[in-house]
Structure 1
Amino acid sequence: MTSRADDRKDVEREVEIMRILQHPRLLQLYDAYDDGKKQMCLVLELIEGGELFERVIDDDFVLTEKACSIFMRQICEGVEYMHSQNILHLDMKPENVLCVTKTGNRIKLIDFGFARKYEPNKKMQVLFGTPEFVAPEVVNFERISYGTDMWSVGVICYVLLSGLSPFMGDSDLETMANVTKADYDFEDESFEQISDEAKDFISKLLLKERKDRMTASDCLKHQWLRKDKKKDETHLDKTRLKRFVIRRRWHKAVNAFLALKRMGAVISL
């Protein structure tokens, strides 16, 4: 529904951006219809594999550092293409990484509702996103750039390998305060079996200064993501990752409930 002018403008911007983003690592828009009144219909590619994190915590999935590097490489390929088209995603988080099928290892990035065209010569600031995954410059309402997405890629990688959220606090305000300090470590036992190359990869993304972070192209050249690099096949403990996913499920359910209430829905408990 696009009854409000702002809603229609948001959908039109998303359609315009998705028409540009023709890449195998990105959700594809096939067509869009507008009745000229209150409804716009988007015809999107069908992705049947579900969220990546939901897939990897399944008891039948063997999570290894090698598997994580394969997923992260594909994420970086998608981000690299977006940035080559001067588009920022600005909402990189686990829920926006889907598996193409229920059995394969191919992924796609989705949800371009927050995406924006980026002009390097113009100052752009935003104040939206998910607190656990937004970069310090978003929290501080400072200038954003390609590096803003790369911070989020680093957080996703940290969580995927350990099941821990590096900046998570007891509230959104505390989480955002932690983000602005960019203070994290690899001291938890979850990282004892993680390679130095993987830690180095994360360390070169979770840097407070956006200009110092690796670009998506840099990431694809990093030793940890090299296809010819032999990686540890040790099974990673998924206990913490399962807890993370359960917490995110609950968070989404609460947000959906609140959204329905705001729209005037009558909900019986």
Structure 2
Amino acid sequence: MSEGLKKVYQVCEEIGRGRFGTVFRCFSPESGDFYAGKSIDKRLLADSVDQECVQKESKIMQLVSGNPNVVQIIDVYEDETYLDIVMELCDSSDLYDRVTKRTFSDVEAAAIMLPLMEAIAHCHRRGVAHRDIKPDNILFDGRNRLKLADFGSAEFFHDGRSMRGIVGTPYYVAPEVLSGRDYNEKVDIWSAGVIMYIMLSGIPPFHGETAAEIFEAVLRGNLRFPTRIFYSVSPVAKDLLRKMLSKDVSKRFSAEQVLGHPWIRREEKLDQ
């Protein structure tokens, strides 16, 4: 890690490891607080594409910081060898840990989806698509506040610019990403819809034994609500899921439309 970071922070234990570097806990004697540091070894960047991705992540994080449901960037340090990003520390369990243990009621799921969609809407208003929305990237801080994290796959889409490239995670990736066509920021809405479906049912909407089978199921996009699993899920929740998991991108809801839906707004009784 850079000398600049080590002058300001006390480096503590490693808490994660990524493709290009490590994530560690660090302490600021000045503020008395702990933070998460991500140290990227630029010598491990194989080509200019990798270098561009790493630089883009820090720029995007600085752009979307400021929303209470996005992991905040605190400092950036860079020298010839390292790029270090200091972020707020989220050391509670992530959403993946929570969804693997139980299913959620409508009320519990809506309490997660509201701040998640506010974070996604915030990013989209700034011309940023996350492109890897999944439970592992949804963290919680010490006060149990949701924080959207890991912008390593994020991309700019402003000025009407579409995106290309297969990124994301099998269960959560949108069908248009897999098809190889240009796509827009609504890929994040699809991924968030998958998360909502899993929270309410305990199973993914499109599944298979292998990655290839999962991709085939996603491309078919045959959305079902098995009665034995969804018997206690409200009709208004299913309505929102259909609008988030629409294969037709022109009919799929935007982040703002999701935020305006009755299930999110809680303007209707969820037990109807």
Task: Normalising by structure 1, report the TM-score.
Answer: 0.79
Matched, 1:2 2:46: no
> Cα distance, 1:52 vs. partner?
1.9
> Cα distance, 1:130 vs. partner?
0.6
Work out the CA distance in 2 between the residues paired with 1:147 and 1:109. Answer: 16
> What percent identity do the matched residue pairs reach?
33
Matched, 1:179 2:223: no
Matched, 1:90 2:131: yes
Q: Which of residues 27, 44, 54 is equivalent to 2:71?
A: 27
1:207-222 correspondence to structure 2 within 5 Å: 207-222=246-261
Task: Normalising by structure 2, report the TM-score.
Answer: 0.78
Work out the CA distance in 1 between the residues paired with 2:176 and 2:245. Answer: 12
> Cα distance, 1:228 vs. partner?
4.4
Higher fraction of helix: 1
Where 1:146 maps in the other structure, the secondary structure is coil
**CA 1:190–1:169 in structure 2 vs 1: closer, same or farther (change >3 Å)?**
same
Matched with 1:17 is 60
What do the CA deviations read for 1:41-78 (whole angstroms, capped 9, x no partner)? Answer: 1101111222024246668xx94220110100111000
Decide whether the 8 Å contact of 1:120 with 1:145 is kept in 2: no
Instruction: Tell me which moved more, 110-119 or 49-58.
Output: 49-58
Q: Which of residues 207, 212, 215 is equivalent to 1:168?
A: 207
Instruction: Tell me which moved more, 78-87 or 113-122.
Output: 113-122
**CA 1:165–1:63 in structure 2 vs 1: closer, same or farther (change >3 Å)?**
closer
Higher relative contact order (CA 8 A, sep 6+): 1
What amino acid does structure 1 have at the position aligned with 2:120? V
Work out the CA distance in 1 between the residues paired with 2:247 and 2:191. Answer: 12
RMSD: 1.8
Matched with 2:185 is 146
Tell me how many residue pairs correspond in the alignment.
Answer: 227
Q: Which of residues 78, 86, 92 is equivalent to 1:49?
A: 92
Where 1:141 maps in the other structure, the secondary structure is coil
Decide whether the 8 Å contact of 2:92 with 2:144 is kept in 1: no
Work out the CA distance in 2 between the residues paired with 1:171 and 1:82. Answer: 32
Work out the CA distance in 2 between the residues paired with 1:211 and 1:159. Answer: 24
Work out the CA distance in 1 between the residues paired with 2:159 and 2:175. Answer: 19
Higher fraction of strand: 2
What amino acid does structure 1 have at the position aligned with 2:111? I
> Cα distance, 1:95 vs. partner?
0.6
